[in-house]
Amino acid sequence: MKIAVECKSPLLQKSIELFLDKYLSSRKKCDIVVRDVKCLNDDRCFYISNNKNADLQKPFSKAQLILELEKKYKSLHTSDINSENDEQESKSMDFSILEKRIEFLTQEYQDNIIRAVKAFYEK
């Protein structure tokens, strides 16, 4: 999760930067943009304000901020996750074929060993 912070309030800007120091990124490379001004056209915008329609209302803790940002990140990337799940399902189908082949070879090997042991003791 990469986050850019663009707040008009210098105090809020610095606080969020301190809270999110390991997630900070440039505006061009970010997944989410944290702002204290409502933005209408950007899905990546995460709005912090006293308003009830804000993504996160002030005052907030570091844990609340990170939790809400993770929810936002997951909601933005649900289509990516679904496509990854489809890829994993197709790979698991390949593994089922491989598992059946290994099971067959293992059974064949076991039968050969049992035949060899029986032949040894029947002499």
Token digits of residue 87: 């890829």
Residues 35 and 94 both lie in one domain: no
38 with 24, same domain: the answer is yes
Give the separation between CA 3 and CA 31, rounded to whole angstroms. 6
Let me know whether 69 and 84 are in one domain.
no
User: What's the pLDDT tens digit per position in 10-34?
Assistant: 999 999 999 999 999 988 888 999 9
State how many domains the chain has: 2
pLDDT value of position 122: 84
Q: Which residue has the tokens 């029947």?
A: 122
What is the token pair recorded at 89?
Answer: 């399902």
Q: What pLDDT does residue 103 have? A: 86
Do 72 and 86 sit in the same domain of this protein?
A: no
User: 104 falls in which pLDDT band (50, 70, 90)?
Assistant: confident
Do 85 and 72 belong together in one domain? no
Q: Are residues 14 and 28 in the same domain?
A: yes
Host H or E run for residue 24: none
Reply yes or no on whether the pLDDT at 94 is more than 90: no
In the predicted structure, residue 39 carries a pLDDT above the cut 90: no
17 & 71 share domain? yes
Same domain assignment for residues 8 and 68: yes
Q: Do 102 and 115 fall into the same domain? A: yes
Domain residues for 107? 80-123
pLDDT of residue 80: 59
**Residues 45-86: tens digit of each pLDDT:** 999 999 888 999 998 899 999 999 999 898 888 755 555 666
Note the pLDDT of residue 42: 80
Q: Are residues 55 and 18 in the same domain?
A: yes
Q: In the structure, what pLDDT confidence band is assigned to residue 41 with cuts at 50, 70 and 90?
A: confident
b/e burial code for range 3-36 (CB count within 10 A of at least 16 → b)? bbbebeeeebbebbeebbeebebeeeebbbbbbb
Kindly state the tokens that stand for 11: 């105090």
Whether residue 71 sits in one domain with residue 37: yes
| Residue 91: both structure tokens together | 């790979």
